[in-house]
With several copies, the nearest count.
Chain A
Amino acid sequence: MPDVRETPLLVIGGGPGGYPAALHAADHGLKVTLVDEGAKLGGVCLNRGCIPSKALLHTAKIIREAHEMAAYGVTFGDPQFDLAKLRDFVQTKVVSKLTGGIGQLTKGRGVDVVKGRAVFTGPNTVEVSGDQPQTIRFQNCIIATGSLPAMPKPWAIGDDRVMDSTGALLLPDVPKKLLVIGGGYIGLEIGSVYAALGSKVTVVEALDRILFMADKDLVDPLERRLKTEFEAIYTNTKVMGLEATKDGIAVKLEGAGVPASLTFDRVLVSVGRRPNSAGLGLDKAGVHVSERGFIPIDKQRRTNVPHIFAIGDVGEEPGLAHKATAEARVAVEAILGEPAEWNPRAIPAVIFTDPEIAWAGVTQQEADKGNIPYEALTFPWAASGRAVSIARTEGRTKMLVDPETKRILGVGIVGAGAGEMIAEGVLAIEMGAVARDVLESIHPHPTLSETVMESAELAYGAATHVGKPRKVAK
């Protein structure tokens, strides 16, 4: 007969939403129980998402950079790959090291970690199945069960050459020809890795361009580069069917000027993720779920049941690890009775391709749609000393400011290292900075961060390194 455990706070899910919630609550003296059904804490992000993908992307970047050094008079032999070693690096030296670290952190903070699957049996109880079956009775609960890769039925043909992101990140081999279905960031990131390792990568996207949520002018430089690294990028194209054959996965395509059928050694399906809310017994707890499976929440991340909260991918979009972690703080503070509120002015998004794309605050297409008045100030990296000296002049830095006050509404960057650079943009937006604040903040020379400063300069007429102001008023 299962144990019964009492806990002031139950957290379901040990990903970047759940484990920081547990740690944060413990730091404030709350007794916390954290349940996760995975073999290792860390959720999707650490085990099969952000972290393994970025370790591999780092490898891919260096492979490309070493290759490009030929233009500088430095030539390396063609790289030799030891896939087993690369896998071991990613899984052991990176993933296990980090998930182990989270184990230590939860232990050090006195969080009770229970391994198993939790299912609600009432508004204050869950039943945990698995190695440590038990009933847990909680006063407050945070649901952080995350999301799962979407795998449309017709493509689930039961052949392991058809992979989702989880499978692809395990690097089973380097297929000669890889098809990536879906031109979102996950598909492009993983596609870049395989391309660097030697696969011929084809991307199929149903919409008229890849990365539709990013401003087109930021996607253009990436797309141009990917077109040289990938075999093909087919937009406005639909996958009509997959079939397993001896020679590979035969794929039927439909799109103008696109071959009707192609065969690939492997296929990565990356067409989105769906919230992980089914089978959780939410009805037993009285927690509402939207048609698409998201759990509706308020500004404190509270569900319709006041003592049950939801954070991370299972709650609201965007499905991003740092959003989940930031929500964790809000939910915990709400539980502690503090006046917490979810109201970020800028949630950064980063696409870790090469070049990277990053943005925060209002995007230009959002401003256009929402009739938000703005000036768009774009600084081309060709005018950056740093970009020239690392031969990466394809980048651009764009700032959206209010035409009257010059308050910074949004920042978008495409270029090497954009993902680190966007932090300044987030801070500027959160602080309510105007362009002059950024332009008078001295940026070190020679760095790419100067492009942020110079884009701010454009708000007042001209930037040092741009002859004619490039400004779009709207």
Chain B
Amino acid sequence: RGAQAARSPSVTPSNGHSSNPQPPAAPSVRMLARKLGVDLTRVHGSGPHGRILLDDLTPFLAPKPSNGVRAA
């Protein structure tokens, strides 16, 4: 459901940018990133709100020679 056209009329705008140092990624994604030695703060998340999905780590898996489909 793509209805995230955030309507948030009465939200007090805050000074800060979203300062969370921990990229939005599920534990399974974080584990795979550790296995692959990937720094998640440098990965672009394709999920809703930039959430990093397992698929986003596919480019970091051992290169499969024939199909170069999924380069980020």
Contact = CB atoms under 8 A, between A and B. Distances in A.
B18 A405 contact: yes
Contacts of B23: 432
Contact of B19 (A373, A406, A474): A373
Contacts of B62: none
B26 A437 contact: yes
A405 B26 CA distance: 14
Contacts of A82: none
Interface stretch (A2-10, A11-19, A220-228, A337-345): A337-345
A9 B24 CA distance: 35
A434 B31 CA distance: 12
Contacts of A345: 22
B33 to A, nearest CB: 9
Interface string A401-444: 01111110100000000000000000000111110110011000
Nearest to A343: B1
A331 interface: no
Contacts of A431: 26-27, 51
Main secondary structure of the interface of B (DSSP, over half): loop
A436 B8 contact: no
B11 A440 contact: no
Nearest to A432: B24
Contacts of B5: 338
B20 interface: yes
A409 B26 contact: no
Given A440-B27, A473-B11, A333 B20 contact: no
Interface in A333-380: 333, 338-341, 343, 345, 372-373, 375
A158 interface: no
A341 B49 contact: no
A339 B2 CA distance: 6
Contact of A437 (B2, B9, B20, B27): B27
Contacts of B54: 434
A26 to B, nearest CB: 14
A469 interface: yes
A430 B7 contact: no
A234 B54 CA distance: 50
A108 interface: no
Contact of A403 (B1, B12, B28, B51): B12
B65 interface: no
A471 B12 CA distance: 10
A343 B54 CA distance: 18
Contacts of A404: 14, 16-18
A471 B4 CA distance: 20
Contacts of A333: 3
Contacts of A212: none
Contacts of B4: 436
Contact of A407 (B6, B13, B16, B49): B49
A257 B60 CA distance: 66
Contacts of B1: 339-341, 343, 440
A440 B27 CA distance: 6
Interface string A452-469: 000000011100000001
A343 B31 CA distance: 10
Contacts of A403: 11-14, 16
A437 B1 CA distance: 10
Q: Residue among A373, A409, A471 with the most chain B CB within 10 A?
A: A373
Contacts of B64: none
B27 A436 contact: yes
Contact of A430 (B14, B19, B27): B27
Contacts of B66: none
A463 to B, nearest CB: 13
The 5 closest A-B pairs by CB, nearest first: A432-B24, A440-B27, A473-B12, A339-B34, A403-B14
Given A338-B5, A338-B35, A341-B2, 8 more contacts: A375-B11, A407-B18, A407-B24, A431-B26, A432-B23, A432-B53, A461-B8, A473-B12
14 contacts: A28-B7, A339-B3, A339-B35, A340-B3, A402-B18, A403-B11, A407-B20, A432-B53, A434-B48, A459-B8, A460-B6, A461-B9, A471-B10, A473-B11
Interface of A: 28, 333, 338-341, 343, 345, 372-373, 375, 402-407, 409, 430-434, 436-437, 440-441, 459-461, 469, 471, 473-474
